Amino acid sequence: MAANRFNSFSDHGVGIGLRIPHYNHIFSEKPVVDWFEIISENFMCDAGRPMHVLDRILEQYRVVQHGVSMYFGSATEPDPEHLRRLKQLVRRTGTPWLSDHLAWGSVDGNYTHDLLPLPYTWEAVHRTVERVKQAQDVLEIPVAVENVSSYAAFNDSEMSEWEFLNEVVERADCGILLDVNNIYVSSVNHEFDPFIYLNAIPAERVAQIHIAGHSRYEKYILDTHDHPVIDPVWALYARAIERCGYTPTLLEWDDHIPTFDEVHNEALKANQYLEAVKPQALKENLAAVTV
């Protein structure tokens, strides 16, 4: 069952990313949303409107933090200020778990602001494990690592991406944010069967699942988060739920963002898969609230 120690035994259902174009709708209409995911770095400032908005959201909704620049796989030393501010934010949001990507993006203090893929080597395993452990120690909440979409592979790789992911999460004893859209994108870009990847994941470590849309070009797919989820990705999601059980699920929509209702309705499609595996206790809780 996917309420596990990697998501603090949470019962989160379907959430969406908190995005600026939806602020007015959320504050005026107060829609029922199970939870919001925030990009941590957008709220790691000192004060002002972003923190005011966040505090208003926290008054009414559950929030989970998702980071984009921890760069667990970067070989050079991280910025201690980043971790300090992240911890401050963790205290503010009360996020039950926190995620960031299995990627690198900075070197010698210069930031690319991209999620660059790692060479799947033992050196990268060891470095990434060290960084994930450090984050877990400092933040004192479960950390989940997310598989990224990638457009390049490395000559030096010594194992498959899923083998690399498994080595990292087992050694760091951390959770997985399983992005089924990213598996699909990478499977096309790297010409592998996405179900082989999905079936190799240790289901008991999956803390959360991401779904999203992408853009297909002639020779590759980009993870643009600007479309609805396509059927092959829903098929992967169905298999993920079959393996992992009832798992917190989040739709990412970051570009050409449609109305709040359109985004939320797209996310709620996940319920057709989740309902079948919903724990009895959650169903009873919901019934009690409805009565």
Within positions 228 to 247, which residues make up the interface with other proteins, using CB under 8 A?
A: none
Instruction: Give the C-alpha separation, 13 to 75, whole Å.
Output: 35
User: Residue 114 or 204: which CB sits closer to other proteins?
Assistant: 114
Span near other proteins by CB under 8 A; candidates 88-96, 145-153, 233-241, 278-286 = 145-153
Instruction: Count Cβ atoms below 10 Å from residue 34 Cβ, excluding itself.
Output: 18
User: Residue 151 or 279: which CB sits closer to other proteins?
Assistant: 151
Shortest separation between residue 234's beta carbon and other proteins, angstroms: 19
CA angle 213, 222, 62 (to 5 degrees): 40
Of 7, 65, 93, 149, which one interacts with other proteins (CB under 8 A)? Answer: 149
251 near other proteins (CB under 8 A): no
**CA-wise closest residue to 64 among 244, 275, 245, 248:** 248
Non-local (6+) Cβ contacts of 34 within 8 A are 12, 13, 14, 15, 62
Instruction: Give the C-alpha separation, 228 to 237, whole Å.
Output: 14
User: Residue 5 or 216: which CB sits closer to other proteins?
Assistant: 216
Of 8, 23, 163, 243, which one interacts with other proteins (CB under 8 A)? Answer: 23
Instruction: Give the C-alpha separation, 82 to 139, whole Å.
Output: 12
Asked whether the beta carbons of 147 and 108 are under 8 A apart, the reply is no
Size of the site for other proteins (CB under 8 A): 75
User: Residue 85 or 278: which CB sits closer to other proteins?
Assistant: 85
Shortest separation between residue 66's beta carbon and other proteins, angstroms: 8
User: Residue 143 or 274: which CB sits closer to other proteins?
Assistant: 143
Give the footprint of other proteins on residues 182-221 (CB under 8 A).
189-191, 214-220
Instruction: Show the tokens assigned to 92.
Output: 């503010």
Give the footprint of other proteins on residues 32-51 (CB under 8 A).
39, 41-51
Give the footprint of other proteins on residues 82-141 (CB under 8 A).
82, 101, 104, 106-116, 119, 121, 123-124, 127
Supply the DSSP symbol for 48: S
Non-local (6+) Cβ contacts of 32 within 8 A are none
Shortest separation between residue 279's beta carbon and other proteins, angstroms: 30
Q: How far is CA 145 from CA 103, 252, 262, in A?
A: 9, 16, 28
61 near other proteins (CB under 8 A): no
**Torsion 198-172-39-115 (CA) sign:** negative
224 near other proteins (CB under 8 A): yes
Shortest separation between residue 81's beta carbon and other proteins, angstroms: 8
User: Residue 55 or 275: which CB sits closer to other proteins?
Assistant: 55
